Amino acid sequence: MRLAPWLTAVCLLTPWAAIAQTMPPAGPGPTIAAASAWVEEASTDCGDGPVCLGARFSLLNSAMAVFMGLPCTDAGSCGPAEIGLRDQATAVYTAVKARSRDARMPLTADALADSGTDAAGFSATLDSWISAGQGDCGLGRRLCVLGQLWLLTQADQAARSGPPCKEGADCQAARLTLMRQTDQRLDAPKRRILTLMPWPLSTTWGPAASNGAWLLVQHADADPAYQQRELGILLSQATLPPDERRHAAYLIDRLATAFQREQVYGTQGRCDERRWVLLPTRDPSHLDDRRHAAGLKPMAAYQKETAVLCQ
């Protein structure tokens, strides 16, 4: 489903405060039944290619996210069915990770960072992810889309940590350049992926895919009109699962600050002398109310988390 013409007008012309009020009602998140189906789907061996392994990583990460979000997990009271699902997902994940390691093919940004590779190896891996993340992958459409989205997301995240280098101004400048170059390289592939999906809701595609799509759209700052269109797709849903409500809130704020307007949910800030400073936000006295409605943490907790980015 693409963005309807009337909603395009809403996103382009309506004040940001009014756009926030168009947030669809909250809907249910992914179910344990969906997580079980994802584990079964990920248990199918589709080969050693990066897209196949990336799709399986995506499905398994989504299944584990559902399991970790169950109330019984925190309470330590999960029954045999839930524990069995967790154990099955863990076993399959271990096997897929071993396949990736044997092929000397890191398939997560964290694995690449921990691999000890030099700058040349880092760049080669980034290149391979971006190359595999576009075009025909030789798999069924769903696995292909999931795997390619996974690889593009990992490239996006790896570029933000950058290859190994000595700390200092030169290192930071090199990483910033890499991030900007990678965002440009990801522009066409991510647009193609999200045209095929068109948005991977967490209830059907899994939280890993939904989060990946949000990260890629959020980092398309060079084209706010594109971000507006993708935000419109989210806001056009009848209901939004919890993950997507948070994603929509971030995108609303991202666009508001891009157009130098007051943000609604207080998600955007900047570093000022090692302190994280909130960018202009409307009606601060009711900010936590709006954040709660969108499923976001209280502002004090969020500021404590983001402060580390400026250290």
Token readout for 131 is: 């190359």
Answering whether pTM is above 0.85, one says yes
In the chain, DSSP finds a helix count (H) and a strand count (E) of: 15, 2
pLDDT, tens digit (0-9, with 9 covering 90-100), for 128-185: 999 999 988 888 899 999 999 999 999 999 999 888 787 777 787 888 899 999 999 9
Percent of the chain whose predicted confidence (pLDDT) is above 90: 69
Quote the CA–CA distance of 193 and 191 in Å, as a whole number.
6
Quote the CA–CA distance of 220 and 152 in Å, as a whole number.
13
Residue 292 — very low, low, confident or very high, per pLDDT cuts 50/70/90? very high
Any idea which of 9-13, 49-53, 100-104 has the lowest mean pLDDT? Answer: 9-13
Cα–Cα distance list, 66 to 29, 34, 178, 207, 239 (Å): 9, 9, 33, 8, 19
- What are residue 270's DSSP bridge partners? 277
Residue 20 — very low, low, confident or very high, per pLDDT cuts 50/70/90? low
pLDDT, tens digit (0-9, with 9 covering 90-100), for 202-212: 999 999 999 99
* Cβ count within 10 A of residue 146: 32
Whether residue 11 has pLDDT greater than 80: no
Q: What is the pLDDT of residue 2?
A: 35
Give every CB contact of residue 198 below 8 A, 6+ residues apart in sequence. Answer: 1, 2, 233
Note the helical H segments in 139-283.
141-161, 169-196, 207-218, 224-235, 242-258
Whether residue 12 has pLDDT greater than 80: no
Average pLDDT over residues 7-32: 64
Cα–Cα distance list, 81 to 68, 90, 263 (Å): 14, 14, 43
Task: Give residue 244's identity as a one-letter amino acid code.
Answer: E
